[in-house]
Amino acid sequence: MQRFLRNPQQERWEFQLRLKALWGLIITLCVLLLARLVWLQVISHGYYHTLAEANRISIVPIVPNRGLILDRKGTVLAENNYTYDLEINPARNKNLDHLIDQLSELVTITSSDRKLFRKALDETHGLSPVPIRNRLSETEIARFAVNRYQFPGVDIQARLIRDYPLGTSASHLIGYIGRINEADQERLDDAGLTDEYRGTNHIGKLGIEGHYEHELHGVTGSEQVETDASGRGVRSLSRIDPTAGDDLFLTVDAGLQQAAEKAFGDHRGALVAIEPGTGDILAFVSEPGFDPNLFVEGIDQDNWNALNNSPDKPLNNRALRGLYPPGSTVKPFMALAALTLGKRTTAYKISDPGYFSFPGSSHRYRDWRPNGHGMVDMHLSIVQSCDTYYYGLANDLGIDAMHDFFSEFGFGQKTGIDIDGEMSGLYPSTEWKQKRYKQDWYGGETVISGIGQGYILTTPLQLAQAVATLANNGVMMKPHLVHAIRDRATGSVREIPPENERTLPLKQSDIDFVRDAMEDVMKPGGTAAQAGAGAPYLIAGKTGTAQVVGVRQGEKYNEGRTSERNRDHALFIAFAPADKPRIAVAVLVENGGHGGSTAAPIARKVFDYYLLGRGVTPVPDNSDAGDDSAHD
């Protein structure tokens, strides 16, 4: 080699030899290629000609049946049902307008049906049958069947459609499927699932349907079909069966879910019920709901406008994404913080004049009871929800210590629930305010944070997790909605074990003290005595009120004078039985006024349903709990 470039003559000769050798290789490869082409195009031409022309082969994807969604007892929440469409084969009908006019005498055909038909016709170039009407009623099927002989080239086609038998119930939790749009398609392409979704028209968009799309979809099969010139299948050549999607068993109890939804009546709001020991979500309510069936085939403009423009915002998942000040429901956690951090003893008493103010300042942070609660210790501060007590406590704790303690309970953080779009809420700190507003923290902001006002925002789901953690003696479980997954092919059921998030460093005696006070909230003299009256089990609860509009210094909030949408939000957190908790709830009623009067009775109905069975004892209308009991 060394020799080679030194001698130009030798070098030229060697280069030429190498060119010739490669040229020989090129010719050999070309002959090989030609042989292949001759084999394809001359020898096997007949075979491929038949495949392509007389009988075209098409490879038809076989879409797997989507997995079912069931509640923890097996009640079906989402299933697949047959629906019947009327299809016209344009190749066999010349005068389509006349034909459609004739058909409209048998089945209802609206002008929007005609428009959709025209659009689909343009897209398929008249090569394949096009639907003129979807979802025929049984009478329409019967009427067409009798007159079918008059309409060659018009057929009834059966197909499976996703159905949500409970309608608006649990809609925010189940979510829905809808047609695959461009954004979905791009995501599928990037995930390498293009082939897998060939033939699939729908994809999970929200809720369980969206989060568990992978499990629910299944594996697409395929069939090689010989088709005639018009694209009609003649015979099947080979088939790879699809695998149906997995069935999902939810932690939710559909009966409890519906009882909770019913308990809301006409109120807007949210409720999350959790089994404290496992993190199983028993009910997940956001009222009002919507009918997910509307979305499956693509929602029409009128229905969309009705849902989207409604002032009640039914599409808003309040339990997952609604952000509300927690109000006085933070007080049990504040008390725990004070005990844990050693800032208060249980016996320490304050004298409440009905307001708190900083020394030397005339600004008054008012208690809800204008003349105050008198001498107040920690127990009474929870039972009567004394604001003044917590103004002072917050001032002593400081916002950063409060931030750290509440973060342990999950405030300001996503719970990691298994549906998408969760909001993380907010628990402020000096560092946060500096970052967000480039401003120093003010003492007054700490004071109002002590009663759950100010910057603090929580989702109902977060509140439910926090109270469930309290009920579970400080062991935080990750809330989840899917309890088990059933493989449709093998029938085997895989349970999803509860996940232990963390164990909070709390003293059992402190927890017991707070629980004891929360039990008394439900008894005469407590803020939710009405809702607690007559319960054959122990409830531990705490009411709360969240301001929607601020009330100026020296003015008084007057419910009667405030327009309905500006009224306070009512909140309530509770668990029961208090001595051995099986269920913990957070309830939020938008513009519901006081937690004790609107939110707590909803929780009571949920507890009764869950703990006593379907025979629900009525909540007494009148009780002797005192004038203040309805207040917070």
Active site residues: 328
Residue 189 binding another protein, by CB under 8 A: yes
Q: Is the peptide bond before 288 cis (omega within 30 degrees of 0)?
A: yes
Residue 232 binding another protein, by CB under 8 A: no
DSSP 8-state code for residue 148: G
**Contact 457/262 with Cβ under 8 angstroms?**
no
Residue 224 binding another protein, by CB under 8 A: yes
CA distance 456 to 470: 19
Q: Measured from the CB atom, is 189 or 300 closer to another protein?
A: 189
**Contact 384/523 with Cβ under 8 angstroms?**
no
Residue 4 binding another protein, by CB under 8 A: yes
Considering only the stretches 43-51, 428-436, 502-510, 515-523, report the one whose residues sit in contact with another protein under the rule CB under 8 A.
Answer: 43-51
3-state percent helix, strand, coil for the chain, nearest multiple of 5: 40, 20, 40
Backbone dihedral angles phi then psi of residue 600, each to the nearest 5 degrees: -60, -40
Pick the binder of another protein from 80, 83, 93, 222 (CB under 8 A): 222
Residue 19 binding another protein, by CB under 8 A: yes
Q: Measured from the CB atom, is 229 or 375 closer to another protein?
A: 229
The three-point CA angle 378-382-388 to 5° equals 75
Pick the binder of another protein from 14, 155, 163, 628 (CB under 8 A): 14
Residue 32 binding another protein, by CB under 8 A: yes
Considering only the stretches 46-54, 105-113, 351-359, 515-523, report the one whose residues sit in contact with another protein under the rule CB under 8 A.
Answer: 46-54
Provide, rounded to whole angstroms, the least separation between the CB of residue 200 and another protein. 12
Give Cβ neighbours of residue 212 (< 8 Å, ≥ 6 apart). 204, 248, 418, 482
Considering only the stretches 44-52, 271-279, 305-313, 514-522, report the one whose residues sit in contact with another protein under the rule CB under 8 A.
Answer: 44-52
Both structure tokens of 152: 């060659």
The three-point CA angle 601-605-608 to 5° equals 130
- Indicate the residue type of 392: G
Pick the binder of another protein from 180, 181, 192, 565 (CB under 8 A): 192
Residue 31 binding another protein, by CB under 8 A: no
CB atoms near residue 195 (< 10 Å): 11
Q: Measured from the CB atom, is 7 or 500 closer to another protein?
A: 7
Provide, rounded to whole angstroms, the least separation between the CB of residue 233 and another protein. 15
**Contact 533/539 with Cβ under 8 angstroms?**
no
195-214: contacts with another protein (CB under 8 A): 195, 198
Residue 160 binding another protein, by CB under 8 A: no
Q: Measured from the CB atom, is 28 or 361 closer to another protein?
A: 28
Residue 219 binding another protein, by CB under 8 A: no
Q: Measured from the CB atom, is 182 or 495 closer to another protein?
A: 182
Q: Measured from the CB atom, is 53 or 627 closer to another protein?
A: 53
**What b-and-e string marks burial along 503-533, b requiring 16 or more CB atoms within 10 Å of the CB?**
ebebeeebbebbbebbbbbbeeebbbbbbbb
Residue 42 binding another protein, by CB under 8 A: yes
Q: Measured from the CB atom, is 44 or 434 closer to another protein?
A: 44
Residue 55 binding another protein, by CB under 8 A: no
CA distance 193 to 61: 13
Pick the binder of another protein from 24, 52, 152, 565 (CB under 8 A): 52
Considering only the stretches 36-44, 163-171, 357-365, 433-441, report the one whose residues sit in contact with another protein under the rule CB under 8 A.
Answer: 36-44
Alpha helical stretches, state H, 162-315: 171-174, 182-190, 207-211, 213-217, 254-263, 293-296, 301-309
Provide, rounded to whole angstroms, the least separation between the CB of residue 128 and another protein. 11
Residue 28 binding another protein, by CB under 8 A: no
Pick the binder of another protein from 97, 105, 182, 190 (CB under 8 A): 190
- The DSSP annotation for 70-107 comes to E-TT--EEEEEEEEEEEEE-GGG-S-HHHHHHHHTTTS
Residue 238 binding another protein, by CB under 8 A: yes
Provide, rounded to whole angstroms, the least separation between the CB of residue 190 and another protein. 6
CA distance 70 to 491: 15
Residue 15 binding another protein, by CB under 8 A: yes
**Contact 76/70 with Cβ under 8 angstroms?**
yes
Considering only the stretches 97-105, 187-195, 427-435, 474-482, report the one whose residues sit in contact with another protein under the rule CB under 8 A.
Answer: 187-195
Q: Measured from the CB atom, is 51 or 493 closer to another protein?
A: 51
**Contact 338/378 with Cβ under 8 angstroms?**
yes
Considering only the stretches 5-13, 115-123, 601-609, 616-624, report the one whose residues sit in contact with another protein under the rule CB under 8 A.
Answer: 5-13
| Phi-psi region at 50: left, alpha or beta (left = phi > 0; alpha = psi -120 to 50) | alpha
Pick the binder of another protein from 24, 47, 437, 493 (CB under 8 A): 47
Residue 431 binding another protein, by CB under 8 A: no
Q: Which among 291, 279, 297, 208 is positioned nearest to 245, based on CA atoms?
A: 208
Burial of 105 (0-12, 13-18, 19+ CB in 10 A): exposed
Q: Summarize as ranges the residues that interact with another protein (CB under 8 A).
A: 1-2, 4-6, 11, 14-16, 18-19, 22-23, 26, 29-30, 32-34, 36-38, 40-42, 44-45, 47-49, 51-53, 56-59, 61, 189-190, 192, 195, 198, 220, 222, 224, 238, 240
